[in-house]
Structure 1
Amino acid sequence: MKSKIVLVFLFISAAIYAQEIEPIQADRPDQTETPAIVPIGMFQVEMGFTFQKNDALYKKNSLPTALWKYGVTKNFELRLITEFLSEEIINEKVNGFSPIYIGFKVALTEEDGIVPKTSFIGHIGLPKAASNEYKTDFVFPKFRFVMQHSLSQKMSFSYNLGAEWDGFSPEPTFIYTVTTGYSITEKLGSYIELFGFIPQIQQSNHSFDGGITYLINNNFMLDLSSGIGISENAPKNYIAFGFSYRR
């Protein structure tokens, strides 16, 4: 009898926990990453396939990019990024894994009036953890401060500021993103976004994109997105699709 009571209690507790947990929040498909942290003890993977045309002579595809996350505490998650690249430059093809990134996200502030919900994301690229074609000379970091405001129950405003290095030179490339998200229904979401990369020495590039997400359930989401370059040296266009799943 006691064992039955314990089982009933565990079942009710699990059901309550499942109801309390918020729907999955992912760093894809937009370039703006979310300040949300993966729930404690949960594993989350965000995987996407991107087909990008830089110009008439250069195409770059990610097949796929995968972000692996694990919630350690309420305010801290571990992160791992893997990516398989396929590039075509003047009819010459190069394939392989780009360097693995290891990192973390830590929550800094909750939203309070004009103060946005804010987290910090930091990664380190491992130069030799890659295919020969993509190995770099040095360990290279990248980081972002990620901020989000709730404008209404259906609309949010988010932005990122950060920098990254390429593993070859000491000069950083600064990053900015600005996006507005809108919940069309409880399951269907959308966004539009402006983002750019500003190298310390070379010319900066800026792009515009948008996309939609569809929530299959609280732990599984599909996405579709596309973007265009709005500066002369930005990639001409891209299209991407993927999914995010946690358990």
Structure 2
Amino acid sequence: MRKLKNSLLWAFAASFCTTIAVAQSQESLNTDRPDQSEGVYTLPKGQFQVENGFVFSKEESTDNLMLRYGLITNTEIRLETNFDVKTPDFSSTIFSVKQRLWESERYLPSVSLIGYGQYSKTDLKKYSFDACLAFESSLSEQLSLAYSLSSVQQFEGYNFTTELNYIPTSKFWGFVEYYATYQPHYAPLHNINAGIAYFIKPNFQIDLSGGHTLFQEEANYFLEVGMGYLFN
């Protein structure tokens, strides 16, 4: 019990400290949370961003932390950890590189490529390398469509996501998303979720989302709360 309390305290403290460690900036941020789709946006060179969220479901409670850094123009590097609150232990660590390939032009979508290297304690393969192609198309000033296709378990299966984003004001944005996982020897996993984000400051976002599985005898619901902060 003491170990669990210490781990929870560490996770919350880390999240809190990232929001107050530096002075507030007026630079806006663009996060890859709380949805499942990978965004096409890459951080400008030299910028650092923290994204953190807690996911609660019937089967698990997880703290997901992502650190992002703009390495050069159109290229960012990222480090992501998933901390299992119930164990408590780190279930996986992922290093990734995101490269912007194409900027949206007329009817063509923006495109980014992400490469992953992952260590996982829970998957059959402890170490794996995968990739993702992410797309985003602007439908209007307030609506956009994001979609991505990524491999899983060393290209043995794949994830598909599609998401509709709505940005009514500079303070709010919301989304509705469908995503699925296809792997050999397993039935496909279908999910739907939705969420909103609010900008306390241009560089500080808080968010709330939730969803559940589809086409299952017993749906698994989940709720996620989180934040994003851009350092300059």
Which TM-score applies when normalising by structure 2?
0.83
What is the aligned-residue RMSD (CA, Å)?
Answer: 2.0
Aligned match of 2:9: none
CA distance in 2, matches of 1:137, 1:144: 19
- State yes or no: 1:27 paired with 2:32: yes
Task: Give the structure 1 partner of residue 69 of structure 2.
Answer: 70
How big is the shift at 1:86? 3.4
The Cα shift of 1:37 comes to: 0.4
CA distance in 2, matches of 1:235, 1:175: 19
CA contact (8 A) 2:83 2:92 kept: no
Following TM superposition, the consecutive aligned residue runs of length 4 or more in structure 1 with deviations greater than 6 angstroms are none
* Aligned with residue 204 of structure 2, among 220, 226, 232: 220
Residue 44 of structure 1: which of 45, 49, 54 is its match?
A: 49
The one-letter amino acid paired with 2:166 is Y
Aligned equivalents of 1:175, 1:71: Cα separation in 2: 26
One-letter identity of the residue aligned with 2:29: I
Return 5+ residue gaps in structure 1 as ranges: 1-17, 54-58, 88-93, 128-132
Q: Deviations over 1:37-58 (max 9, x none)?
A: 01210111110000022xxxxx
Would the aligned equivalents of 2:40 and 2:100 in 1 still touch at CA under 8 Å? yes
Q: Distance in 2 between matches of 1:67 and 1:172?
A: 25
Identity of aligned residues (%): 28
Q: What residue number does 1:61 align with?
A: 61
Shift of 1:66: 0.5
Structure 2 CA distance for partners of 1:234 and 1:24, relative to 1, 3 Å: farther
1:180-232 Cα offsets, whole Å, 9 max, x none, are 00012210111101111111221101011100000122211111000011121
Provide the secondary structure at the position in 2 that maps to 1:65: strand
Q: Determine whether 1:203 maps to 2:187.
A: yes
Q: Is residue 167–residue 174 contact of structure 2 (8 Å, CA) maintained in 1?
A: yes
Q: Equivalent of 1:181, from 135, 152, 165? A: 165
Q: Does 1:159 align with 2:147?
A: yes
8 Å CA contact 1:143, 1:162 repeated in 2: yes
Give the distance between the partners of 1:213 and 1:111, measured in 2 at CA. Answer: 24
1:106 maps to which residue?
Answer: 99
Supply the AA of the counterpart residue of 1:152.
S
Per the normalisation by structure 1, the TM-score is 0.78
Checking the alignment, whether the CA contact within 8 Å between 2:130 and 2:155 is kept in structure 1 is no
Residue matched to 2:230: 246
Larger of the two Rg values belongs to structure: 1
Determine the C-alpha separation between the residues in 2 that align with 1:232 and 1:137.
26
Unmatched 5+ residue regions in structure 2? Answer: 1-24
